[in-house]
Amino acid sequence: MTLILDPDDPAGWREAPPARSDDPSGPGSPLTEGLNPQQREAVEYRGPALLIVAGAGSGKTRVLTHRIAHLIEMRDAWPSQILAITFTNKAAAEMRERVQALLGDSASGMWISTFHSACVRILRREAESLGLSSTFTIYDSADQRTILKRIIKGLDADTMGFTPASAQAKISKLKNELADVESHARNANMNDPQEVMFLEIFRQYTRRLREASALDFDDLIAETVYLFRAFPKVAALYQRRFRHILVDEYQDTNHAQYSLIRELTRPVAPAIVSELDEHGILVRGMTDATGSIPGASLTVVGDSDQSIYAFRGADIRNIVEFERDFPGAKVVLLEQNYRSTQNILSAANAVISNNFDRKDKKLWTADGDGEQIVGYTGYTAHDEAQFIADEIESLHRSGVAYRDIAVFYRTNAQTRALEEIFVRSALPYRVVGGTKFYERAEIKDAMAYLIAVANPLDELALRRILNTPKRGIGPATETTIAQFAEQNELTFRQAMRSAGGLGLGPKVTAAISALADVLDEAAAMLVPSQAGIDAGTNEGASKISEVLVFLMERSGLLDALRNSRDPQDETRAENVEELVAQTRDFDRENPGATLVDFLTQVSLVAAADELDDASGTVSLMTLHTAKGLEYHAVFLTGIEEGLLPHQMSASEPGGPAEERRLFYVGITRARKRLYLSLAMSRAQFGEVAVAMPSRYLQEIPEGLIDWRQSPGMATSRGGSQPRALNARRGFGQGGAGGGAWGTRDRDLERFSVTRSEKPKTEWANKVTGTVRDNGDLTLEAGDRIRHADFGEGKVTQVTGEGTKRIAHVSFDRAGQKKLLIKIAPIEKL
DNA sequence: AGATGTCACGTTTTT
DNA sequence: CGTGACATCT
C-alpha cells in the first residue's frame, strides 16, 4: 500500500489508488502511443529539471499534456500538485481540455493558467500581507496612461519631454526587471534632472496605484515575487503545494517571470517546514534527509527561434542558459514536425538560419513536399487584399473551411484594407484581437461602474463615472471633491458621500449624493447572505448581471444613450446591452463567481482567447497573436521593408533578428498552404509611399515560391499581364472618384528613404530583388499616358514630391484616377 | 457646464 | 486617417 499526500484532501493522506493494470507507459498505452522517441522521453523523464526544445509544430502541446497525464497516472503527482503555465488563456484552456480528455475528472484541481491569472489568484488570496484589498483593480495600459497623463501634467514634466507613453514604457521595463522606486532611486543619477523627474513620476504613479488599491499588468508578476521573497512562509505554502511546474513558451519569459519560477521551485527550509508543521499544515512525508521539502520539479518548453516578445522584456537567455541555471537539467530536442509540408519547413529553415548566434536546428517532416508557396505582389494594399479574398474563395470552393484559413499581418492598422475588401467580397471573417469591445468608451464606462462598486478605493473608476452620463459635475467640482478628500483624509468615495459639506450648489450636491447612493446600494446587493458568509461562499449575493442592470438604469447611463440624438449612441446602447448579455453568460457559466472574478477575467482576456474554433469564419490577426496556432492555409501579408521588419525595429538592438523570428513564426503556422503577399505601395495615414519587398523574402530559396505576380514582373512593362486588379468588382468606379490606388489617398503610402538607398546588390534573389520603378519618369498636366488596366488617359494634375509624386489622370474610359508615378503600370505616350 | 469646431499629433507587436 | 487637446460659443 502506498500513501501519497494530497494537499487538497482535508485528511491529507490518502491511499494511492491501485496502479492501472495496464502500464500507462507500456506499449499500446494511449499516453505514449504514437510518440516518437524524443517525445516519449520528454513524457517519461523524471528529475528536477527538464528542458524540452520544441521546434514549431513538433507536438509540444501533445508532449506537455501527455506528460501531465503521465505524472498523474503513474502516481507521481496528485492533480493539485501540478502547476502548468501557458502564455495565453486560450492555450491554457486548450491544455486543460486535452488533459481532461486524457484523464477525465481527475484533471480538476490542477492549476493550468497564464502567469498573470495564476498571480492574480495568489495575490487575491494573499492580498492582506501586501496591504492590498483583495478586490484590487487591475489597470490596463489605457488606465496607466490616464494616470501618467495627470501626473505629468501636474509636474509639468511634458516640458522635459516626458509623455505618458514614454513614462509607461520605462516603468514597465523597470518592473519587468523587478525594480521599484527605491531600488531605481539608488541607481539613478541625481544630477540628471531628467532622471530626477522620472523618479518623481514613478513615485507618484506608484503611490496613486497603492491608494487606489490597484495593480498594473507588470505588478501582477512583480508583486507576487515580492510577496514570496518578503513572506517565506507564504511562499512555502505554494512551494509545498506545487510539486511539478510546467512552463510553456519559456523563451518568452521576462526576468520577473523567471524569478517567479525560481521562487516557486525553491526548496522549503527546515525551519519553515517545522513552522508549517506547527500550524497544522501537512508537511510530513514530504521532507528529505535534511528536513527540507525539495524544490518542485520544473519542466520548461520553448524554442528560442520563436522568441518574439523582447519588447516586453522577454529574455532569451532564460532558455539558452537553462542548463547552467538548473545544473543536471535534462534536455530533449524535438525537431520532427507534424504540422507543415516540407516546402513550408524549408522556407522556414532557410529564413531562420540567417539569424546568427542560434543553435542550428532544422525542422523536417516525413510527409512530403506539398504545394509550392504562393507569392503575390499587389500594387496597393487593396489589390493585395483582393488577391487574398479571391484565393480564399478559391480555397473554399475546393473544400477548405473558412475556419481553417487565417490571414496574418504585422500591425493592426493593416486590417483596414483587408476588412474593406472582405466585406465587399462577402467573406465571413473575424478580426482576432484588437479586443475592441472592451475598449469602447461606453463599455469602459459601464465597467468603471462595476469597478467602483467592487473596489471603492479606485479613484480612477470613480472619476470616470462622476460625470458619465452628464449630471452637471464638471472639472471644477471634481477638483473640489478631490481637495476635500485630501484635506479631511477621506477617500474620494467618502468625500462623495459627504457631498453636503462641500459647499456646492444644491443641484450639483444632489447629483453627487445620488451617484454615491447608487454605488452604495449596488455594493449592498453584492453582500452574501449570512449563510453564505458563514460558508465562505457567495450565496445570497445578487448576480453580476443584476447589479450591472441596476447600475445602468439607476445611473441613467442607458437612458442617456437611448434618448440621445447622436445616432451613434444607439449603437452604444446596444453595446451596453451586449455587455449585460455577457455578464448573464458569465453568471450562468460560473455559478457562485463574484463580481471581482468577472472583472479579473475581463482584464486578463487576451486576443487569442476569444478565438472561437466553431465559428465558420476566416481569422485575421497579428503575427504575435498567431503564435501557438495553426491553420490549413495561411496568408502572410505586408511582407515589406518597413512593415516586416517594422521600421521601428531598426533602431532596436536585435530588432531585425526578432522580426525575422516573427516571420518564421508566421510561416510555421501553415499546415498545407502558405501565401506570401505584399504591396508595392502602402497607406499609413494618408501619406504616399513606395514599399520595397522585405529582405526576408530574399532568404527563401527561389524554387519554393510560385510568384503569381512578383515584384520583378512589374518592371517588365508590356511583357507581363498584371491582373485586372482594381478594374474589377466596381473598384474605383462609380462616382466615388476612386482610382488605381483605391478610393482614398490613404492607399498611397509613405516611402522610406533609408530603404530605397540600399544598394540593390544586396538583393541576391533576382525575382524579388527588383521592384517596378519608372525611374525619373516625369509627367505634367496635359501629358497622355497608357495604363496597363485603365487604357489611355490625360494627366490633369501632378502633386507630391520625389517618389511620392501622384498623377491625377482622366482616363478615356475608366474615369478619374490617382496614380503613384514611380510604380504605376503606366507609360508616357 | 456643455456642445461644437479646429488643429496638431502620433502611429509595433501584448499579458 | 483617427484621436485627443484646446478654444470658443451657447
pLDDT per position as a tens digit, A330-369: 999 998 888 999 999 999 999 998 887 777 778 888 888 8
**In 3-state terms, what secondary structure has residue A630?**
coil
Whether pLDDT at A667 is above 80: yes
- Nearest nucleotide relative to A441: CA against C1': C3
Q: In this structure, are residues A270 and A215 in contact, taking their beta carbons and an 8 Å threshold?
A: no
- Is A134 known to sit in a ligand binding site? no
Whether pLDDT at A715 is above 70: no
The separation, in Å, between residue A480 CA and nucleotide B1 C1' comes to 15
* Strand intervals (E) in A47-162: 49-54, 82-86, 111-114, 137-139
The separation, in Å, between residue A502 CA and nucleotide B5 C1' comes to 34
Whether pLDDT at A96 is above 50: yes
- Nearest nucleotide relative to A683: CA against C1': C1
Whether pLDDT at A52 is above 70: yes
Residue with nearest Cα to nucleotide B10 C1': A685
Q: What's the rounded Cα separation, in Å, for the pair A213 and A492? A: 13
- Is A57 known to sit in a ligand binding site? yes
Instruction: State whether the beta carbon of A116 lies below 7 angstroms from any atom of strand B.
Output: yes
Q: In this structure, are residues A318 and A672 in contact, taking their beta carbons and an 8 Å threshold?
A: no
**In 3-state terms, what secondary structure has residue A86?**
strand
- Work out the pLDDT band at A123, boundaries 50, 70, 90: very high
Query: Mean pLDDT, to the nearest integer, of A145-164?
Result: 85
- Is A56 known to sit in a ligand binding site? yes
Instruction: State whether the beta carbon of A737 lies below 7 angstroms from any atom of strand C.
Output: no
Query: Mean pLDDT, to the nearest integer, of A229-253?
Result: 92
A335-to-A303, A347, A373 alpha-carbon distances in Å: 10, 15, 22
Whether pLDDT at A653 is above 80: no
Instruction: State whether the beta carbon of A682 lies below 7 angstroms from any atom of strand B.
Output: no
Q: In this structure, are residues A67 and A299 in contact, taking their beta carbons and an 8 Å threshold?
A: yes
- Nearest nucleotide relative to A158: CA against C1': C5
**In 3-state terms, what secondary structure has residue A825?**
coil
A761-to-A426, A647, A695, A710, A765 alpha-carbon distances in Å: 43, 21, 12, 18, 10
Task: Give me the torsion for CA of A726, A730, A731, A734, rounded to 10°.
Answer: 130
The separation, in Å, between residue A746 CA and nucleotide B4 C1' comes to 27
Hey, what amino acid is at A54?
A
Residue, of A273 and A443, whose pLDDT is higher: A443
> What is the reported pLDDT for A750?
28
> What is the reported pLDDT for A661?
93
- Is A415 known to sit in a ligand binding site? no
Q: Which residues in range 727-766 of chain A are in contact with strand B, contact meaning CB within 7 A of any of its atoms?
A: none
Q: Which residues in range 675-694 of chain A are in contact with strand C, contact meaning CB within 7 A of any of its atoms?
A: 685-686
Q: In this structure, are residues A826 and A785 in contact, taking their beta carbons and an 8 Å threshold?
A: yes
Whether pLDDT at A209 is above 70: yes
Q: Which of A427-441, A586-600, A791-805 has the lowest mean pLDDT?
A: A791-805
- Nearest nucleotide relative to A687: CA against C1': C1
Q: Which of A258-272, A635-649, A734-748, A804-818 has the lowest mean pLDDT?
A: A734-748
Instruction: State whether the beta carbon of A356 lies below 7 angstroms from any atom of strand C.
Output: no
Q: What's the rounded Cα separation, in Å, for the pair A650 and A639? A: 15
C-alpha cell at A304: 528560442
A309-324 tens-digit pLDDT = 988 888 888 888 888 8
In the numeric block, the cell 471581482 is attached to A596
- Nearest nucleotide relative to A142: CA against C1': B14
Task: For residue A469, say if its preceding peptide bond is cis, omega within 30 degrees of 0.
Answer: yes
> What is the reported pLDDT for A35?
78
In the numeric block, the cell 523523464 is attached to A45
* Cα A513 from chain centre: 40
- Give, rounded to a whole angstrom, the gap between the first and last alpha carbons of chain A: 95
Instruction: State whether the beta carbon of A412 lies below 7 angstroms from any atom of strand B.
Output: yes
- Is A766 known to sit in a ligand binding site? no
- Is A800 known to sit in a ligand binding site? no
Q: What's the rounded Cα separation, in Å, for the pair A108 and A87? A: 20
- Nearest nucleotide relative to A435: CA against C1': B14
**Contacts within 8 Å (CB) and 24+ apart, A719-723:** A721/A788, A722/A379, A722/A788, A722/A789, A722/A825, A723/A383, A723/A387
Of A674, A586, A659, the residue nearest A624 (C-alpha)? A659
In this structure, the number of other CB atoms found within 10 A of the CB of residue A434 comes to 14
Whether pLDDT at A722 is above 70: no
**In 3-state terms, what secondary structure has residue A25?**
coil
The separation, in Å, between residue A451 CA and nucleotide B14 C1' comes to 23
Reduced DSSP (H G I as helix, E B as strand, rest coil) percent helix, strand, coil of chain A, to 5 = 50, 15, 35
Secondary structure letter of residue A207 according to DSSP: H
Q: Which residues in range 605-664 of chain A are in contact with strand B, contact meaning CB within 7 A of any of its atoms?
A: 606-608, 622, 624-625, 646, 648-649, 652
In the numeric block, the cell 516625369 is attached to A778
> What is the reported pLDDT for A762?
35
- Work out the pLDDT band at A672, boundaries 50, 70, 90: very high
Mean of per-residue pLDDT scores for chain A: 81
**In 3-state terms, what secondary structure has residue A439?**
helix
C-alpha cell at A766: 533576382
The separation, in Å, between residue A214 CA and nucleotide C6 C1' comes to 31
Length of chain A: 829
- Nearest nucleotide relative to A475: CA against C1': B1
Of A605, A669, A614, the residue nearest A91 (C-alpha)? A605
**Contacts within 8 Å (CB) and 24+ apart, A537-543:** A537/A592, A538/A592, A538/A593, A538/A594, A539/A592, A541/A594, A543/A583, A543/A584, A543/A587
For A101-139, give one letter per residue: b (16+ CB within 10 A) or e. Answer: ebbeebbeebbbbbbbbbbbebbbebbeebebbebbbbb
- Is A54 known to sit in a ligand binding site? yes
> What is the reported pLDDT for A719?
31
Q: What's the rounded Cα separation, in Å, for the pair A635 and A645? A: 17
- Helices A255-264, A232-241: axis angle to 10 degrees equals 80
> What is the reported pLDDT for A800?
67
Whether pLDDT at A83 is above 70: yes
- Greatest CA separation for chain A: 98
Model-level pTM?
0.82
> What is the reported pLDDT for A244?
93
The separation, in Å, between residue A606 CA and nucleotide B15 C1' comes to 7
Query: Mean pLDDT, to the nearest integer, of A687-697?
Result: 81
Whether pLDDT at A449 is above 90: yes
Instruction: State whether the beta carbon of A564 lies below 7 angstroms from any atom of strand B.
Output: no
> What is the reported pLDDT for A606?
60
Whether pLDDT at A726 is above 50: no
- Write the CB contacts of A620 (distance below 8 Å, at least 6 apart in sequence): A406, A407, A409, A415, A418, A419, A429, A430, A431, A432
Q: What's the rounded Cα separation, in Å, for the pair A281 and A266? A: 18
User: pLDDT above 70 covers what percent of chain A?
Assistant: 86
Whether pLDDT at A782 is above 90: no
A420-447 tens-digit pLDDT = 888 888 888 888 876 677 888 888 899 9
* Strand intervals (E) in A37-190: 49-54, 82-86, 111-114, 137-139
Instruction: State whether the beta carbon of A508 lies below 7 angstroms from any atom of strand B.
Output: yes
Q: Using alpha carbons only, give the angle A221, A110, A61 rounded to the nearest 5 degrees.
A: 80
> What is the reported pLDDT for A599?
93
- Nearest nucleotide relative to A685: CA against C1': C1
- Work out the pLDDT band at A718, boundaries 50, 70, 90: very low
Q: What's the rounded Cα separation, in Å, for the pair A650 and A380? A: 24
Of A99, A92, A90, the residue nearest A118 (C-alpha)? A92
Whether pLDDT at A275 is above 90: no
Query: Mean pLDDT, to the nearest integer, of A276-284?
Result: 77
The separation, in Å, between residue A685 CA and nucleotide B8 C1' comes to 14
Of A95, A35, A47, the residue nearest A71 (C-alpha)? A47
Q: Which of A75-89, A135-149, A532-546, A736-750 has the lowest mean pLDDT?
A: A736-750
Q: What's the rounded Cα separation, in Å, for the pair A307 and A252? A: 6
Instruction: State whether the beta carbon of A473 lies below 7 angstroms from any atom of strand B.
Output: yes
Q: What's the rounded Cα separation, in Å, for the pair A253 and A317? A: 9
Q: In this structure, are residues A802 and A774 in contact, taking their beta carbons and an 8 Å threshold?
A: no
The separation, in Å, between residue A450 CA and nucleotide B13 C1' comes to 30
Q: Which of A58-67, A452-461, A669-678, A721-730 has the lowest mean pLDDT?
A: A721-730
Q: What's the rounded Cα separation, in Å, for the pair A139 and A116? A: 13
Hey, what amino acid is at A387?
F
Q: In this structure, are residues A470 and A560 in contact, taking their beta carbons and an 8 Å threshold?
A: yes
In this structure, the number of other CB atoms found within 10 A of the CB of residue A493 comes to 20
Residue, of A160 and A414, whose pLDDT is higher: A414
The separation, in Å, between residue A438 CA and nucleotide B15 C1' comes to 15
The separation, in Å, between residue A153 CA and nucleotide C6 C1' comes to 15
Residue with nearest Cα to nucleotide C1 C1': A685
Instruction: State whether the beta carbon of A9 lies below 7 angstroms from any atom of strand C.
Output: no
- Work out the pLDDT band at A767, boundaries 50, 70, 90: very low
Nucleotides of strand B lying closer than 7 angstroms to a protein CB: 1-3, 10-15
> What is the reported pLDDT for A435?
64
> What is the reported pLDDT for A79?
84
Q: Which residues in range 299-318 of chain A are in contact with strand B, contact meaning CB within 7 A of any of its atoms?
A: 308-309, 311-312
Instruction: State whether the beta carbon of A65 lies below 7 angstroms from any atom of strand B.
Output: no
> What is the reported pLDDT for A501?
82
Whether pLDDT at A371 is above 60: yes
Q: Which residues of A are catalytic?
A: 60-61, 248-249, 306, 669
Whether pLDDT at A534 is above 60: yes
Task: Identify the helix (H) or strand (E) that includes residue A785.
Answer: strand A784-787
